[in-house]
Structure 1
Amino acid sequence: MRDTQEFFYEPGEDEPLSTAVVTAVAEAHHEDVLEQEWVISNDINADALDGLFQENNLKMTLQFEADSTTATIVADKNGDPVVKIESHR
């Protein structure tokens, strides 16, 4: 069984959430974001993901499996999304 490592990523103010997830997965795996093999659209609708946390007053959590990770997105106390990646590599 492989160890699980946690990695947190806070998207920039104008950064789309789908871009943040792709960046977080790459950084968690110590890969360059443009050179990683994983493509987000194989696992989740990127446009729908980008629209979920647009209202910063939402209190929600989204979790999905992607590229040997568990990606969890939660709204912080201000309603801004924070991406948590649990790498299973």
Structure 2
Amino acid sequence: MGNQQSFHYEPVEGEELSTAVVTAVAEAHDEDVIEQKWLISEDINTDALDGLFQDHQLKMTLQFEADTTTVTIIADEMGYPVIKVESHR
């Protein structure tokens, strides 16, 4: 098995959560967002993902496997999502 690396990404204000996940996975793999081969829509319902964490009063964690990574999204102390990507490449 290859090296496992961990990467954290905090979406910028107004950035859709699905876009932030795609960006985080690309950065974790040192790939260009546009040129990466993984398409989030093949694994995740992006509309449902974008609807999560909108009520910043919720404290939740979401974890899923995608593109040889484990993606974990955790609400910070203010309820905003922080994305952790563990690359398994």
- TM bin, normalised by shorter chain, reads over 0.9
| RMSD (Å), alpha carbons | 0.5
Runs of 4+ in 1 over 6 A off after TM superposition: none
Pairing 1:1-89 to 2, within 5 Å after superposition:
1-89=1-89
Q: Secondary structure at the match of 2:34?
A: coil
TM-score after normalising by structure 2: 0.98
Per-residue CA deviations over 1:58-88 (Å, capped at 9, x if unaligned) read 1000000000000000000000000000000
Identify unmatched segments of 5+ residues in structure 1. none
Residue 2 of structure 1, CA deviation: 1.6
Identify unmatched segments of 5+ residues in structure 2. none
TM-score after normalising by structure 1: 0.98
Aligned length: 89
User: What letter is aligned with 2:86?
Assistant: E
Identity of aligned residues (%): 72
For 1:17 and 1:83, the matched residues in 2 are separated by 9
